Structure 1
Amino acid sequence: MVQDNKITVEDIHAYVDGELSEDAAALVRDFLDKHPEAATVAEDYRAINAAILTRAAMADRVPLPERHIEAVNRKPRAPLIAASLALMAAGAAAGWVAHAVLTPRPDVLDLLASEAGASWATYAPDARRPVEIAAADASQLVRWLANRTGRSVVVPTLDDQGLAFMGGRLVAGGNRPAALLMYQDSAGRRLVVLMSPEFAGDGPTGMHFRRQTESAAVIWANGKEGFGVAGPFSEEELKRAAVVVRDSFAL
């Protein structure tokens, strides 16, 4: 039961999931209003819930490979259920302590790759207005993106990779605004850099490569933001650019 003098992590979970009575929810809401750090945790839970729902919706549209169905049918169900319950219990006990250090789930990386790839596919082919604010007004762009995303934004220099900065824009993430920067090489190929604060609740990861239909992406998270570098480039080219981006945002 929620008590006004002791709000627990479980109470916050239940509040975000809409499982509390009106009186209990009011107590938790008042607690979050007075404790910004706890409010940030609640927002992280909401983002995780939204990410799970998004991935579930995407999974519903993708047919399950026959070999996976056959593999599940061959497995005894009771041990699987027991193992799932054990994992859930362990996660509930350790979740608060490990919140800031756990490696994000693979679906978080997939979401990052999807958002970066979609941003490239949407804006890079635009011949008239691929960016909202051009490179000539980079200082204005940086201030605007920082104000809207709530994160410090920099413009990495990718000249050594043969990529000239074109400008950037604000784009919609799953739950929060994200910053998009765009570059172009001498052959006209365009590369986008996505910085999304949507994944602030997930721990740092290494860099991961994802091949997509018309482009590819390198994605990672640093514990505060998620990043994606995407375009019609090779894995080696994208990773070189990604290292520069990662180091620039770490300064």
Structure 2
Amino acid sequence: MNAPLPPDDTQLGAWLDGELPPAEHDRISAWLEAHPADAQRVQAWAADRDALRALWGPVADEPVPAALQRPLWRGTARPAWARAAMVAGLLITGALAGGGAVWWQQHEAAGSVAAVPIEPAWVQRAALAHSLYVPDQRHPVEVRAQEDHLARWLTRRTQLPVKLFDLRAQGFALVGGRLLPDTDGPGAQLMYQDDSGQRVTVYLRKPDPQVPAAFRYEQQGDLGLFYWVEGGCGYALAGSLPRERLLALAEAIYQQQPE
């Protein structure tokens, strides 16, 4: 008897989204149980999907701009339900695709300071990484808070002067850190947690050319981000905290930056 063919990525994606008939769903479930590497890959897809939905899902509930509505059905008589479905699909697909692109692609400066976005692409990557790893209770970090080892490892891998900031005076203890993919070599994420379980992350990476070093604040839903560039390193502090408390953490980090 021939061995069953392994599922391709399309079938795995349909399994993840619950779009398969029961028999096919059970077959792929059995395959994933017997093939941990494939199961881990699908779990990573699910984590990315959930993080993107958390960041960009609310876009689907926003009113559709008139400029987007007109080209969708100009010259074609479609029922109202079809037009609504098209618009919703366009917004959700665009938001998710844009979120994925912002994580993997760096904004290319147009050659002048005016062309640099107010919010650099790496700040979006910091927000996405925060949303992806903060909810994880079992594996929130790649390396736990072994201070000497963690700092040396991240410094060696990122070629940045990684320092593990002491935020105990602000009520936060170091959980650990991890490497993150970036366009100019690996970046790093440090995670801190207070006694209530609230977590914040610090994202470190090589700064983009022409990005101002100014101290800036962005709000994305309930997620706040302070970010700045100092000493050849870009910093982004992310957390679902009141702005004043997040600012106190950012100031503590700024004062402890490597010379």
Question: Normalized against structure 1, the TM-score is what?
Answer: 0.56
Q: Residues 92-134 of structure 1: CA distance to partner in whole angstroms, max 9, x if unpaired?
A: 7xx7xxxxxx699234x34233112111101111000101111
Q: Name the CA distance, whole Å, in 2 between partners of 1:210 and 1:172.
A: 22
1:209 corresponds in structure 2 to: 217
User: Which residue of 128, 135, 147 maps to 1:125?
Assistant: 135
2:245 corresponds in structure 1 to: 237
Please list every run of 5 or more consecutive structure 1 residues that lacks an aligned counterpart in the other structure: 1-57, 68-90, 96-101
Please list every run of 5 or more consecutive structure 2 residues that lacks an aligned counterpart in the other structure: 1-55, 68-109
Q: Which runs of structure 1 show a deviation greater than 3 angstroms over 4 or more consecutive aligned residues?
A: 61-67
Report 1 or 2 for greater relative contact order, CA contacts < 8 Å, sequence distance ≥ 6: 1
RMSD of Structure 2 on Structure 1 (CA): 3.1
Q: CA deviation at 1:190?
A: 0.3
Q: CA deviation at 1:64?
A: 9.9
Does the 8 Å CA contact 1:200/1:223 hold for their aligned counterparts? no
Q: Residues 77-106 of structure 1: CA distance to partner in whole angstroms, max 9, x if unpaired?
A: xxxxxxxxxxxxxx97xx7xxxxxx69923
Q: Name the CA distance, whole Å, in 2 between partners of 1:164 and 1:104.
A: 39
Q: How does 1:91-240 map to 2 (within 5 A)?
A: 105-107=116-118, 109-135=119-145, 137-197=146-206, 199-202=207-210, 204-222=212-230, 224-240=232-248
Q: CA deviation at 1:185?
A: 0.9
1:48 corresponds in structure 2 to: none
Greater Cα shift, 215-224 or 165-174: 215-224
Structure 1 vs Structure 2: percent identity of aligned residues?
Answer: 30
Does the 8 Å CA contact 1:194/1:229 hold for their aligned counterparts? yes
Q: Residues 124-173 of structure 1: CA distance to partner in whole angstroms, max 9, x if unpaired?
A: 110001011111x1111111111111111101111111111111111112
Q: Residues 28-59 of structure 1: CA distance to partner in whole angstroms, max 9, x if unpaired?
A: xxxxxxxxxxxxxxxxxxxxxxxxxxxxxx9x
1:75 corresponds in structure 2 to: none
Structure richer in helix, relative to its length: 1
Q: Name the CA distance, whole Å, in 2 between partners of 1:103 and 1:202.
A: 10
Aligned to 2:125, the other structure's residue is in SS state: helix
